[in-house]
Amino acid sequence: MIIEREGIAVTLQAFAKRHGLSMYVTRHCDGRYTAAFAGTTTCRSGSFFYDKGEGTSEVEAIQDYVRKISLTRLIIDPSETYSREISVPTLIPEWQETEA
């Protein structure tokens, strides 16, 4: 069992690896980028949001996403019967790029 404590910052890469999440970054035709974990929604104050980070570069989009999901509840596979809900700690936007 993994115990996560509030108030402890974790890198984005460590958080994604621990929970088996994949980050997808998309470049749109207007040149802007969006970033989000695949198959997730966030829960804030009892409401669900399909949050995504936005920016003029991949880095900006990921940093925006990290800011939006830190200290929320992340719902993984929300449409599945056995979805998971996890608390997101304060995330540090650090990662190493890997090819899919």
pLDDT of residue 86 exceeding 70: yes
Q: What is the reported pTM?
A: 0.82
* pLDDT of res. 96: 65
* pLDDT of res. 49: 83
In sequence order, the 6+-apart residues with CB closer than 8 A to the CB of 7 are 89, 90
* pLDDT of res. 64: 96
CA distance 77 to 75: 6
pLDDT in tens, 26-62: 999 999 999 999 999 998 777 788 889 999 999 999 9
Structure tokens at 23: 């980050």
Query: Mean pLDDT score of the chain, rounded to an integer?
Result: 86
